[in-house]
């Protein structure tokens, strides 16, 4: 449940004001916030409290997170000279806070901890646009008109991502998720040319560790085959993609994750229950399914509803498994 903290009253006093990165860089605070949802909900895994931009931020490239806005870059990437701002990551000095947080969390946690990173395309959008964007026009213009710069930029981002994922795995996470949240804005042909090789290199490099790899994006119903082919063990499906469609593309033996609409979780319980039941019925007891939201938890979500979702999924999901 991404960005689950936003809906928890106990989150804000620990998080404090200002950039979320200030809380992320303090291992004790990051550990406490990671554990908070696991105390409320009967979850099967926890996700590290961090952000997709954390490793880039740690290299001092000039990216930050503005409260209520999202990732911002003061001097967006525009030409070749901006590539000089990249430097190699030294996990011991740059990402020590992350390693420390993971060690604190895994000491307390009795369910697996999931680590994560942003994928090159989604991270590039924040570096190039300078702020969250709807059409990602600057990103697409740079990508199509200067492919050489685009690919070099993605290689540099990928090196940072690989260093962070490896450091998270060394520190003790038991699965990792690559978030390419905005890749769904691309035509499959353009995804294949401009994005796929980079995400594939990341997943292939991390594959050698043998831990499960998750790959997620929104609006990706036309990209599911490529998301899987990039080297993922699990593909995330947002709420706009039916499980039936995903199964026709990926088959019954592939593991899917999703696909509850986060907006529905703001409705009264009978409405939410009906939708959770519909998704589980559509899955028809296939054990290769991880129930989750199709995107991040919305701030106005009532935590009691999410607790009921987790319990209902376990109870009703088990009935369907037993009958399948
Ligand atoms: O649930 C968790 O706490 C896990 C940690 C987590 C965060 N961000 C913390 C966070 C995870 C897995 C993310 C992923 C993330 N961050 C993605 C990929 C997943 C997705 O939702 O598509 C993206 C695109 C981001 C970038 C980002 N960070 C956005 C768009 C925002 C929201 C800005 C806002 O305030 O509306 C953030 C901020 C952020 N990252 C919050 C949290 C808990 C929001 C609350 C806060 O600022 O304290």
Residue ranges of the domains in the chain? Answer: 11-236
SS3 of 301-313: the string is CCHHHHHHHHHHH
Among 17, 50, 19, 49, residue whose Cα is nearest residue 35: 49
The per-residue pLDDT for 2 is 67
The per-residue pLDDT for 324 is 86
18/7 Cα distance (integer angstroms):
17
- Asked if the model's pLDDT at residue 161 lies above 80, the reply is yes
Instruction: Provide the phi-psi class of 48: left if phi over 0, else alpha when psi is between -120 and 50, else beta.
Output: beta
**Residue 319 CA, ligand 1 centroid: distance in Å:** 34
When comparing pLDDT for 111 and 17, which is higher?
111
The per-residue pLDDT for 18 is 84
- Report which ligand 1 atom has the smallest distance to the Cα of 218: 22
Question: Does the beta carbon of 178 lie inside 6 Å of ligand 1?
Answer: no
Whether the Cβ atoms of residue 168 and residue 138 lie closer than 8 Å to each other: no
The per-residue pLDDT for 136 is 97
- Asked if the model's pLDDT at residue 139 lies above 90, the reply is yes
117/324 Cα distance (integer angstroms):
35
Question: Does the beta carbon of 71 lie inside 6 Å of ligand 1?
Answer: yes
Residues comprising the chain, all counted = 324
139/136 Cα distance (integer angstroms):
5
- Report which ligand 1 atom has the smallest distance to the Cα of 297: 1
Beta bridge partners of 258: 291
Cβ partners under 8 Å of residue 319, min gap 6 = none
Q: What is the CATH number of domain 11-236?
A: 3.20.20.210
Catalytic residues: 2, 6, 15, 51, 126
- Rounded to two decimals, the pTM is 0.96
324/318 Cα distance (integer angstroms):
10
- Asked if the model's pLDDT at residue 101 lies above 70, the reply is yes
**Residue 51 CA, ligand 1 centroid: distance in Å:** 6
Question: Across residues 56-74, what is the average pLDDT?
Answer: 94
pLDDT tens column, 257-290:
999 999 999 999 999 999 999 999 999 999 999 9
The per-residue pLDDT for 3 is 72
- Report which ligand 1 atom has the smallest distance to the Cα of 1: 1
Name the residue at shortest CA distance from atom 38 of ligand 1. Answer: 70
Whether the Cβ atoms of residue 191 and residue 223 lie closer than 8 Å to each other: yes
255/105 Cα distance (integer angstroms):
26
């Amino acid at each position: 449940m991404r960005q689950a903290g936003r809906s928890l009253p106990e989150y804000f006093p620990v998080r404090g004001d200002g950039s979320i990165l200030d809380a992320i860089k303090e291992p004790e605070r990051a550990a406490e916030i990671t554990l908070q949802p696991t105390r409320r909900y009967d979850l099967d895994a926890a996700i590290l409290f961090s952000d997709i931009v954390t490793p880039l931020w740690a290299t001092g490239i000039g990216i930050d997170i503005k409260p209520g806005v999202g990732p911002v870059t003061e001097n967006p990437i525009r030409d070749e000279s901006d590539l000089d701002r990249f430097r190699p990551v030294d996990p011991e000095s740059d990402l020590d806070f992350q390693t420390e947080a993971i060690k604190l969390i895994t000491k307390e946690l009795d369910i697996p901890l999931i680590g994560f990173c942003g994928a090159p395309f989604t991270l590039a959008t924040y570096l190039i646009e300078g702020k969250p964007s709807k059409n990602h026009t600057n990103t697409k213009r740079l990508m199509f008109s200067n492919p050489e710069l685009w690919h070099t930029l993605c290689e540099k981002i990928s090196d940072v991502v690989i260093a962070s994922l490896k450091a998270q795995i060394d520190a003790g996470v038991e699965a990792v998720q690559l978030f390419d949240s905005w890749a769904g804005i691309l035509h499959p042909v353009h995804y294949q040319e401009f994005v796929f090789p980079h995400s594939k290199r990341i997943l292939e490099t991390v594959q050698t560790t043998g831990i499960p790899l998750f790959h997620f994006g929104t609006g990706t119903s036309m990209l599911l085959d490529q998301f899987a082919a990039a080297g993922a063990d699990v593909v995330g499906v947002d709420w706009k993609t039916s499980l039936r469609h995903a199964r026709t593309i990926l088959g019954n033996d592939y593991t899917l994750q999703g696909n509850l609409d986060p907006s529905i979780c703001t409705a009264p319980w009978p409405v939410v229950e009906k939708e959770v039941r519909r998704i589980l019925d559509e899955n028809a007891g296939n054990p290769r399914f991880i129930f989750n939201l199709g995107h991040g938890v919305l701030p106005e979500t009532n935590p009691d509803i999410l607790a009921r979702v987790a319990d209902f999924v376990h109870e009703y999901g088990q009935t369907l498994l037993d009958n399948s």
